[in-house]
Amino acid sequence: MECTVRMIADWMAEWADPSWAESYDNVGLLIGHEDAAVDTVVTALDVTEGAIAYAVREGAQMIVSHHPLLFRGAKTIVDGDRDGARLLMLIENHLAVCAAHTNMDAALGGTNDIAAEKLGLTDVIPIEPVPGDDSGAGMGRIGRLPAAMTVRQFAELVKEVFDIPSVRMISPDPDAVIQKTALCTGKGMGFYKAARMAGAEIYLTGDVTYHEAEEALATGAHIIDAGHFGTEFPIAEAIAQYLQQQDETLTVLPYREARDPFTVV
C-alpha cells in the first residue's frame, strides 16, 4: 500500500493526540498535499534550513518535526524573511511538514518519557495528567531515581545521559541528597511549582530565566537547566523509530546534524 502525507500525519496523531497540545501551539499537518505519495521522511527537532536541505538532498517528500515551523499566521511569504524563505524552500521542493510539539511532550513515549527513561526513573507519573485520561499521558514527569545521589552528582548524570557538555545548576547546597525527581523537557518552568508541591526534590528542564532561577534559589529549590535543545534533541530518533514501525518499506531518516545554538566557552 502506498504511503501518503495524510497517513503519516494520522500515525503521528495516533501517538500524540493533537487535542493534548497547549492552546498556543500549532501541531499536525502544516504544509502539503494530503494525498501525495511518500517514500522518504526526515524527522527533526526543528525545521531549520539545514534540515530542509538534508531532506531535499535525500529525496524526501516530508519532514516530521517536534517544533512547528510557524506558531502564528504569516501575512507575507517572501524570501527576505526567515520564515518566508523556509516556507518557499519547502513548497518549491514539494516537502510536506507535520509537527508534534506539546502533544508529543504529553504523549506516552514522547519527550518527557524519553528523558525519564534516560535518567532511569521509576514509578513515573505525569506532573499534570491529561484531563479524563488515566493512561499516564500528560505534561512533565515525576518519579524516583534508582538510588539517592547529591545534586552535583545528578547534574553530572544529566550531562552524561543527554550527552551535553554542561548544565546550569540552581541549588543552595549542591551536596544535598535527592531522589524524587521531576522534569519537563524544553521550556518547562510552568510545571515546576506543581512538581514541587508533589514532593519533587529536584527539577530538570531548560530555558530557566534569571528571575525564575533567583526565586527558586530563594525558596531552597534544586533545579538543573540542561537547555531546550539538550533535553529534546532525542525526539528526532524516537519519531524515526516509530514511523519505521508503522511501515517497514518507508525510508525514515533522522536529521542528526542539528546543533545547539548555544556554545559553551
Asked if residue 150 and residue 95 are part of one domain, the reply reads: no
Q: Residues, the chain, total? A: 265
Q: Specify the pTM.
A: 0.96
170 near 225, Cβ under 8 Å? yes
Look at residues 103, 121, 154 and tell me which one is the last residue of a structural domain: 103
Distance CA 62, CA 133 (A): 31
88 is in which domain, residue-wise? 5-103
Does 88 lie in the same domain as 112?
no
| 61-97 residues labelled b (16+ CB within 10 A) or e (exposed) | bbbbbbbbbeeeeeeeeeeeeebeebbebbeeeebbb
State how many domains the chain has: 2
Residues 76 and 145 both lie in one domain: no
**Where residue 120 sits, what CATH number does that domain have?**
3.40.1390.30
Same domain, 65 and 141: no
Render each residue's pLDDT in the chain as its tens digit; 265 residues.
Answer: 799 999 999 999 999 999 999 999 999 999 999 999 999 999 999 999 999 999 999 999 999 999 999 887 788 899 999 999 999 999 999 999 999 999 999 999 999 999 999 999 999 999 999 999 999 999 999 999 999 999 999 999 999 999 999 999 999 999 999 999 999 999 999 999 999 999 999 999 999 999 999 999 999 999 999 999 999 999 999 999 999 999 999 999 999 999 999 999 8
The three grid cell numbers given for residue 48, joined into one nine-digit string: 531549520
Are 116 and 226 within one domain? Answer: yes
For residue 259, being part of any structural domain is answered with: no
Question: Do residue 224 and residue 112 come from a single domain?
Answer: yes
Cell numbers 517572501 correspond to 78
- For residue 70, the model assigns a pLDDT of 87
| Residue ending a domain, choose from 72, 103, 134 | 103
Shared domain check, 227 and 126: yes
Position 262 in a domain: no
Q: Which pLDDT belongs to residue 71?
A: 84
Q: Are residues 12 and 33 in the same domain?
A: yes
Answer yes or no: do 122 and 151 share one domain.
yes
250 part of a folded domain: no
Q: 74 CB contacts (<8 Å, ≥6 apart)? A: 83, 84, 87
